[in-house]
Each structure stands twice: as structure tokens, then as C-alpha cells.
Structure 1
Amino acid sequence: MLKSYCVCHLQASSLPNVALLGTASQSSTYPFSPASNVIDGNRNPDLKAGSCSHTKYGPDHWWRLVLPHMYNITHINITNRISNAGRINGAQILIGNSLQNNGNNNPRCSVITSIPAGGTSTFNCGGMIGRVINVKHYSTNPNVFLTMCELEAYGG
């Protein structure tokens, strides 16, 4: 039975970053840039500092976070790289409970139009309930990467 938790009475700043509790993976891994870097609690936007993820070339890029429980996700913060900031443009944030198709069949929270180089943007998810959070790039261009430096998921 699914349990639903209302966090409506809580201020966004009082909600925990549940991303720190999860396990991250991604479609492929460029050397020294694993998926786990995105949930290390470090927003450093310099890939060379070791706190960013980076996929290899290819047309089907995704990054996935599996949480230990279902959460009511109010918002997601994503920190972008300083260099090659456009690599995240057009990606979608998905939240749900399915691991089917690597978690990419879950409902959409938001589309990442762009995030400034080295900046952090907030995406409102309106209390979507789930334990799987994906960032999926739908580009068919085989010469594209997906990179991020931090993902924070706030909820209860």
C-alpha cells in the first residue's frame, strides 16, 4: 500500500535534501565522473574538482537517483557546470516509482530549458510522490553528453 505524506505545512527551507539518502547511476560514465558525484552535497561546478557527473558520447543519456523510500518531492535544485553549460539544456526531470526503461517512463516534473554556467536552478515539482528521480536528455545527437554537478531533492 502506498503511503502519501503531506508536507504542505512545511516551509521549503525546512525540508530535508533526500537526495543524499539515495543511490545514483547513469547511462554511461566518462572517466572520473561517476553519477554519485551529483549527490555528494558539494555544489562545486568545476568538473576537474571531482564533484560532477559526465556521461560518454551517445544519443540516450540519463542520470538516475533511487531513494530508499517514497517521498513527496516539492522541488529539485540542479547545479550546472562552469564549462560546457549547454549540455544540460533540454533535459527533463522525471519522478515516480518505476524502474522500467531505466526510470525514464516516470511522469515529468519539469524541463530544463537552461541553467547558467556554474549556477543552481530550482524546479518546482508540486509534491510529486516517488522514489525514482531521473534527469533524461532526449537528444538524438550522438555527439552529446549529459553533465551535472549537484542534484538536491527536497521533500518529506
Structure 2
Amino acid sequence: MAISIQETNIAGIATQSSQSGAGSADKAIDGNHDSNVKHGSCSNTLTNLSPWWRLDLMRTYKINSVMITFPANGLKNAEIRIGNSLDHNGNINPRCAVISVATPGSTKTYVCNGMEGRYINIVVPGKRQQLILCEVEKLISHREEKRLSPVSMAV
């Protein structure tokens, strides 16, 4: 018998390509959805080429969706990537979604259909800019295999 479990509160370690001010990577997983960067609840990189943010889930999970709260200035031309590789900082793992344009201050869910990976990356490939994320949440599922003993299978 297999039981499917869905969770959003899996702990992980966040990191990013650089840090601007107090905008550490862990601010994007602190549970605070405030989209005003000045309130101190958003991660924030320096302006650099192809800025990225990554969450290490510490083991492989099936990622059903990723929900992002965007800053007051929005976000565009970003990608969500999920996988097990840290080659190129994890930014060449398979792509879950493209964030063409995100409405400033909005929260949007991107469906990843059970993609497997240890790392969730958000990257702005080939652009020189800041990457600001106010909250990143994930819905994961994993299966627990339960084996029935011969005694419990008796009729």
C-alpha cells in the first residue's frame, strides 16, 4: 500500500548569487508574504548577470508546485528550475516554469507536475539585474511504502 503525503513546510537551506543589504536568501522562506522590500522580509541580490536564488531541500522530493510572492516592483524573464544537479549553481536543471511578467506585489502559483529534485532554483538567465523574492513556497509530495505483515493480511 502506498500513501501519498503532501506538505508545504519542508525545511531547507536557501542561498543566492549575492546579497544586497539585509536581503539574505532565507528571507524568501520566512513565512512573511509582505511584498514591500523596505520592510525587510524579501531576499535581494545585487545587480549582477543571471542572478539566482536556490532552496536546498536536503533530499529529493516530487515538487507539485512553487508559489512565489513578488516584490512591489514585480519580476520578469525569470525561470523556475528543479533538479538534483549543482552544475552552474543548479541553473541548468530542468525547467518547471517561465515567469514572463509577474504583477508587482502579487502571489502566483506555478505548476511543476511532480518534477523530482533536491534543488529549487529561480534564475533570471542572461539579464543583468537584481533578483528580489518576498516568499517562495512549495507543495511537495512523497510516498511512504507500507508493507502489510502476513498476520494482518489473514482473512
User: Could you state the TM-score of these two structures normalised by the residue count of structure 1?
Assistant: 0.84
Q: Does 1:16 align with 2:7?
A: yes
Equivalenced residue count is: 140
Paired residue for 2:71, among 50, 70, 81? Answer: 81
Question: 2:152 aligns to what?
Answer: none
Provide the C-alpha distance between the structure 2 equivalents of 1:6 and 1:58, rounded to a whole number of angstroms. 44
Native 8 Å contact 1:90 1:112 kept in 2: yes
Give, in angstroms, the shift of residue 106 of structure 1.
0.5
SS of structure 1 residue aligned to 2:26: helix
Paired residue for 1:154, among 129, 134, 139? Answer: 139
Identity of aligned residues (%): 40
Structure 1 unaligned spans of 5+:
none
Aligned residue runs from structure 1 range 61-140, under 5 A: 61-82=51-72, 84-85=73-74, 88-140=75-127
Provide the C-alpha distance between the structure 2 equivalents of 1:89 and 1:16, rounded to a whole number of angstroms. 28
SS of structure 2 residue aligned to 1:81: coil
Native 8 Å contact 1:73 1:127 kept in 2: yes
For the aligned residues, what is the CA RMSD?
Answer: 1.6
User: Could you state the TM-score of these two structures normalised by the residue count of structure 2?
Assistant: 0.85
Structure 2 unaligned spans of 5+:
142-155
Question: 1:27 aligns to what?
Answer: 17
Provide the C-alpha distance between the structure 1 equivalents of 2:65 and 2:36, rounded to a whole number of angstroms. 24
Q: Deviations over 1:36-78 (max 9, x none)?
A: 0001111111111111011111112000000022111100000
Q: Which of the two has greater strand per residue?
A: 2
Native 8 Å contact 1:44 1:51 kept in 2: yes
Give, in angstroms, the shift of residue 6 of structure 1.
8.0
Provide the C-alpha distance between the structure 2 equivalents of 1:59 and 1:37, rounded to a whole number of angstroms. 21
Provide the C-alpha distance between the structure 2 equivalents of 1:127 and 1:75, rounded to a whole number of angstroms. 8
Q: Deviations over 1:81-131 (max 9, x none)?
A: 12x22xx20100000001111111200000001221111001000000111
Provide the C-alpha distance between the structure 1 equivalents of 2:77 and 2:8, rounded to a whole number of angstroms. 24
Structure of higher CA gyration radius: 2
Q: Deviations over 1:123-149 (max 9, x none)?
A: 000000111000010133x3x111110
SS of structure 2 residue aligned to 1:101: helix
Paired residue for 1:36, among 23, 26, 31? Answer: 26
Q: Which moved more, 1:47-56 or 1:119-128?
A: 47-56
Deviation >6 Å, runs of 4+: none
Provide the C-alpha distance between the structure 2 equivalents of 1:117 and 1:105, rounded to a whole number of angstroms. 27
